[in-house]
Structure 1
Amino acid sequence: MPPLTYLLACRIGSAGVVALSSIMLQLTLSGAPAHGEDTPAQTPLQHLLGDGNFEIGPDYTTDPDLTDQGNPKGKSFEFEMRLADSKIFRGDDATLDPKKTVRTARKVFVYVPAAYQDGTKAPLLIIHDGPARLDLVRNALDNLTISEHPDRRLPPFIAIAVQNGGDDSYGSERGLEYDTMSDRLARFINDEVLPAVVNNSEIRAAYPNIALTDDPDGRAVMGCSSGGAAALTMGWFRPDLFRRLITYSGTFVDQQDEDAAEEANYPLGAWEYHSGKKLIENSEKKPLRIFTHVAENDLRNQDPAETYHNWVMANRRTAAALAAKDYDYRFVFSRGTRHCDQKVFKQTLADTLVWAWQGYR
């Protein structure tokens, strides 16, 4: 089996391999990353830069880069956005179930890392279901924006964790925002949330010249479950706005409301990415970099295909479609874990962020 340095040599050249050798120790691949729907190749998945399919578990540890190592801290902010003030998600959509709770205001959590220099156009990471894993992302920024290893260094992106509109599944505001196959969420984040961040008085007081990049290559999105499906959907429908996508336990199933207007074109919701219309394979390749993950014991993992609700099947098929279309993608299958399992985040998120931001300048 090829050693890890062999894989890295193919990806980044001998100089990069030498630079990484001090941190990778004896890690090796037990097999080259496999494409398709078959069981992924086994690998520790630590400090890997390669694309493809990987398997981890069933034992897990916390990556030190996701812990507080005493490095300089950035600044945290929190504010609210009233749904009634939105032009895109007002909380009064005709598809909503009146029995399901809609928030009157959503919280927005912002972390500006210590490495950010006021006045520069910052790259950014949108995190769905805020605050979600913002705690781990903060530690990764504190530790990896100042990493001595150039191939394990993060750009000083600003993390923006946005709360969903409330409740879950069919007929909910969260479901409308995350499970609908349209560009609506991408527009909401771009047109309403990002301006609210840079114009927030508290943030402006700390960073008078704060700015966010307009370059879609400097804009990432992360989410789990329906938030993961939403990350892919934002990039899929608006690659001109967001191009680096991170999905854990992605809800690539038929979770879209039956009375949604989008049913006319996407009757199976996010299931259409990999089956039915086979959106990924049958569409022109988009300039996206996509991380996907699913857990061995993820939701409805024994359901037959005709239910359109097997999370493991959906994510395997999505990975296979990305491979067939030759996307820059990484798919992780985690043994002995469940839906959006904290153990998986604590072991992989630093590596995932580093992989997701590869090639950014």
Structure 2
Amino acid sequence: MARCRHRGPKAISSSARPTPAPETIAKEGVARGTTKSFTLSSKQSTIYNPGLIRDDVAGCTNSSIMTTVTAPDDKSHMVVTTSHPGIWSRTIDVYVPAQYVRGTEAPFIVVGDGGSNAYKDLATTLDNLIAQRRVPPMIAIQIGNGGQDAQGSQRGREYDAVSGAYAQFVEREVLPLVEANAGVKLTKDPDGRATMGLSSSGVAAFTMAWFYPDLYHRVLAFSPTMVNQQWPHDPSLRGGAWEYHSAWTGPAGPHLISKAGVLTPAEPPGVPLIAAAPVKPIRFWFFGGDQDLFYPNPNIPDGMHDWTLSNALTAKVLAEKGYHYQFLFVRNAKHVDRPTIAQTLPSALEWVWKGYPIP
């Protein structure tokens, strides 16, 4: 029987509950922004139509993932047979600050996994920070994910793919609807555009800026999934997001491996993406916990599913390349730790937007 485990952003947070930052609490006399919402269906999409649906056991989240196996001779290649085309519908919530002047172009932040309880204080936090002139008056666009979690799901397809597809989905299909439905204009200046996410949407936030630094310069992520979650398997990048910071862990060197009964030379692991590329104009804030995730399925020991290690290795390679980044290693903190978010969200937003002009 499949074990019911959930890997995504609803994971239970640390038992230690520090006091939330004061900026997350509504204050008298502070002008409050408004939030407008609309829905988007896969029938309206070009990039993600059709979507993906995975047939899990009823009441057992991620049951397919807990029982799946990997391809012969490649533990980085998960085989998911229960995934098939389907229809998704998502909600998009648009926060518009009280200071927004209609008709003007505004800076904005794209927020993955929109609607998560982790963002319950986002509007209030922005109200306070904007009033204190610590961040610019910005539009915040929370985009719901396409559904489910991990390999074989629409959410996993969107967030864990190391490609520019999700950024193009946002640019071509979401942002025009935001402008039309919320009555705002969004800046084209990449220095005035930020991305934010948690878990897999956290690595998606980084991926958006990585593939399109001409669109996004500022990134904020909570427990980003810098591990091998990409699905379908991409032979050209076998380690998925793990390869941002580290080489693929599969067989390398002069050894021979068996593929369909034929012995062939093993392929080399390749150079990690961040190390191999020229420095990009990305400003990146992220945290990871000392009690973050390991992959729950013992059948997939690919060596590329340690969230705590992956975040530390990401910080290491960013430092070696000279990136502007801030990494918080949080003790007694679990995956997407809610108390940590409540304590750090205001300062993280302020750091991410440092250097941007505030009128």
Question: What residue is the counterpart of 2:276 in the other structure?
Answer: 282
1:142 matches 2:127 = yes
2:70 match: none
Q: Which residue of 2 aligns with 1:104?
A: 88
The unaligned stretches of length 5 or more in structure 1 are 1-56, 205-209
SS of residue matched to 2:290 = strand
Aligned partner of 1:215 in structure 2 is: 189
Q: Which of the residues 217, 225, 232 maps onto 1:251? A: 225
Tell me the TM-score normalized by structure 2: 0.76
Task: Please say if residues 182 and 233 of structure 1, whose CA atoms lie closer than 8 Å, have aligned partners that are also in contact.
Answer: yes
Q: How far is the alpha carbon of 1:91 from its aligned partner?
A: 3.1
Residue 331 of structure 2 is aligned to residue 347 of structure 1: no
The reply on whether 1:233 has 2:217 as its aligned counterpart is no
Deviations 1:78-134 (A, max 9, x none): 100111111111134699865579553111011101121112211001110112244
Deviates more, 1:247-256 or 1:84-93: 84-93
**AA aligned opposite 2:112:** H
1:191 aligns with 2:172: yes
Separation (CA, whole Å) in 1 of partners of 2:90 and 2:146: 6
Give the Cα separation in 2 of the matches to 1:119 and 1:182. Answer: 33
1:73 corresponds to 2:32: yes
Q: Structure 2 residue aligned with 1:126, among 110, 121, 129? A: 110
Match of 1:315 in 2: 311
2:21 is aligned to 63
Task: Give the share of equivalent positions with the same residue, in percent.
Answer: 39
In the alignment, the residues of structure 1 paired with residue 219 and residue 208 of structure 2 have an alpha-carbon distance, to the nearest angstrom, of: 9
Kindly report structure 1 stretches of 4+ aligned residues shifted beyond 4 Å. 93-103, 301-306
| 1:322-357 deviation line (CA, Å, top 9, x unaligned) | 000110000001111110111011000000000000
- Asked if 1:116 corresponds to 2:100, the answer is yes
Asked if 1:273 is matched to 2:244, the reply is: yes
* CA distance in structure 1 between the aligned counterparts of 2:129 and 2:243, rounded to whole angstroms: 37
Gaps of 5+ in 2: 1-14, 54-78, 248-270
Q: 1:157 aligns with which of 111, 129, 138?
A: 138
Partner of 2:9 in structure 1? none
CA contact (8 A) 2:92 2:144 kept: yes
Query: Secondary structure, in 3 states, of the residue corresponding to 2:38?
Result: strand
Q: Which amino acid aligns with 2:305?
A: H
Structure-1 residue corresponding to 2:326: 330
Higher helix share: 1
Shift of 1:300: 1.2
Contact 1:75/1:113 (<8 A) preserved: yes
Question: What TM-score comes out, normalization by structure 1 length?
Answer: 0.76
CA distance in 1, matches of 2:144, 2:52: 18
Distance 1:301 1:182, change over 3 A: closer
Shift of 1:146: 1.4
Task: Quote how far apart the aligned CAs of 1:66 are.
Answer: 0.9
Size of the aligned set, in residue pairs, is: 292
Task: Give the aligned partner of residue 297 of structure 1.
Answer: 291
Judge conservation of contact 1:285–1:327 (CA < 8 Å) in 2.
Answer: yes
Q: Deviations over 1:281-300 (max 9, x none)?
A: 12110000011210110001
Letter in 2 for 1:62: P
Q: Tell me which amino acid in the other structure corresponds to 2:275.
A: E
CA distance in 1, matches of 2:295, 2:217: 29
Distance 2:305 2:272 in 1: 16
Distance across 1 between alignment mates of 2:349 and 2:124 = 12
Question: Taking structure 1 as reference, are residues 341 and 103 closer, same or farther at Cα in structure 2, changes over 3 Å only?
Answer: farther
CA gap of 1:134–1:121, structure 2 versus 1, over 3 A, is farther
Task: Report the CA distance between 1:265 and its aligned residue.
Answer: 2.4
Cα 1:97–1:291 change in 2 (3 A) is farther
Deviations, residues 157-190 of structure 1 (Å, cap 9, x unaligned): 1000000111111111111100001000011111
Q: Of residues 77, 86, 90 in structure 1, which corresponds to 2:45?
A: 86
Is 1:169 aligned to residue 150 of structure 2?
yes
Q: Is the 8 A contact 1:127 1:134 kept in 2?
A: no
- Residue identity in the other structure for 2:47: I
Deviations 1:252-274 (A, max 9, x none): 000011x34xx132110000011
Q: Is 1:219–1:243's contact at 8 Å kept on the other side of the alignment? A: yes
Note closer, same or farther for the CA distance 1:105–1:93 as it changes in structure 2 (3 Å cut): closer
8 Å CA contact 1:58–1:335 kept in 2: the answer is no
Q: Distance in 1 between matches of 2:158 and 2:23?
A: 32
Conservation of the 8 A alpha-carbon contact between 1:228 and 1:247: yes
SS of 2:274's partner is helix
Asked if 1 retains the 8 angstrom alpha-carbon contact of 2:31 and 2:131, the reply is no
